[in-house]
Structure 1
Amino acid sequence: MDLRKIDDQITVAPQIAVDDVAEIARLGFRTLVANRPDHEEPGQPPMAELEAAAREHGLNWVYLPVESGNITDQDVDQFAPMIQQAETPVLAFCRSGTRCTALWALSAARNTPVEVIFTKARNAGYDIGGLAPRLAQQAARQG
């Protein structure tokens, strides 16, 4: 399991396995967020199995599927309040962690300086430079 901490509130990861959920709970995460559509690719664990494991280990489960390479403003509008209201710390996963990082960055841009967002993403191993125009757009939404 490749956990990449963005800040004290959220960590992102590439695809997790059902067997990883017990360790995720042991590490102190309180909410598990799946940003990957079910059946996105062969061999991916079914979301129902991940959800059952999350609940079995006392984790809150959020299923917010987002199409890879196509994060819409509606996706950000759903992610922003969810991440603000989630019991922390949160672990969000997708295929590589990039989609989760982009969702976090776009929602955070509404109340966090863009330079801080770039630094946190880079420190977690993600280059989100291509999101600069959308981050500016989200920053203009404030709130």
Structure 2
Amino acid sequence: MKQVSAKLHVSTQVTAADLAKAKAAGVTAIINNRPDGEEPGQPSAAENAAAAADLGLGYSHIPVAPGQYSLDEVRAFQAAMSAADGPVLAHCKTGTRSASLYAIGEALDGRMSRDDILSLGQSLGLDLAGAVRWLDANSNN
């Protein structure tokens, strides 16, 4: 898990064992940003939702294709984070989509600049240039 903010951590694909470790670390909710079937052997959203429920964790599935963010997905991500009673773990294949959804929302709401997004990506070891490109292409949002 990489800490993005006081409330958000991101990670690569999680397993049921990873969810148990996340709960032990204080995570209260999971956001899955991977479409089902993206990669062979990937746990399905239903499998991870069941594992999260068994642990008493909140769970949201907001599937996003790599680099193809929409305003609706950004706002759904923000809503899932707001609904969580505590720290959230968002995951995708590398953590980049999850961090990008967060950064786009923060920029749209005036809490983060484009430069802040790139700095955040560097600090996490993730390339968030796609989030900046999305903002540039959708500046009227």
TM-score by length of 1: 0.85
Identity, % of aligned positions = 32
Matches within 5 A, 1:105-120: 105-109=103-107, 110-114=109-113, 115-120=115-120
> Is the Cα contact below 8 Å between 1:32 and 1:62 reproduced in 2?
yes
Q: Secondary structure at the match of 1:67?
A: coil
CA distance in 2: counterparts of 1:28 and 1:131, whole angstroms:
28
CA distance in 2: counterparts of 1:120 and 1:140, whole angstroms:
23
CA distance in 2: counterparts of 1:140 and 1:88, whole angstroms:
32
Query: Residue in 2 aligned with 1:85?
Result: 83
**Is 130-139 or 49-58 further displaced after alignment?**
130-139
Query: Residue in 2 aligned with 1:25?
Result: 23
Aligned residues: 139
> What is the RMSD of the two structures over their aligned residues, measured on CA atoms?
2.0
CA distance in 1: counterparts of 2:22 and 2:130, whole angstroms:
30
CA distance in 1: counterparts of 2:110 and 2:131, whole angstroms:
16
> Is the Cα contact below 8 Å between 1:33 and 1:62 reproduced in 2?
yes
Render the CA deviation track for 1:23-50: whole Å, top value 9, x for unaligned: 1111110111101111212110122221
Q: Secondary structure at the match of 1:81?
A: helix
What is the letter of the counterpart of residue 26 of structure 2? G
> Is the Cα contact below 8 Å between 2:10 and 2:98 reproduced in 1?
yes
TM-score by length of 2: 0.86
Query: Residue in 1 aligned with 2:3?
Result: 5
**Is 26-35 or 42-51 further displaced after alignment?**
42-51
> Is the Cα contact below 8 Å between 2:11 and 2:92 reproduced in 1?
yes
Query: Residue in 1 aligned with 2:135?
Result: 135
Is residue 2:46 matched to residue 1:54? no
**Is 123-132 or 65-74 further displaced after alignment?**
123-132
CA distance in 2: counterparts of 1:9 and 1:69, whole angstroms:
23
> Is the Cα contact below 8 Å between 1:32 and 1:90 reproduced in 2?
yes
Q: Secondary structure at the match of 2:75?
A: helix
CA distance in 2: counterparts of 1:82 and 1:19, whole angstroms:
22
What is the letter of the counterpart of residue 23 of structure 1? K
Q: Which runs of 5+ in 1 are unaligned?
A: none
1:69 Cα deviation after fit: 2.1
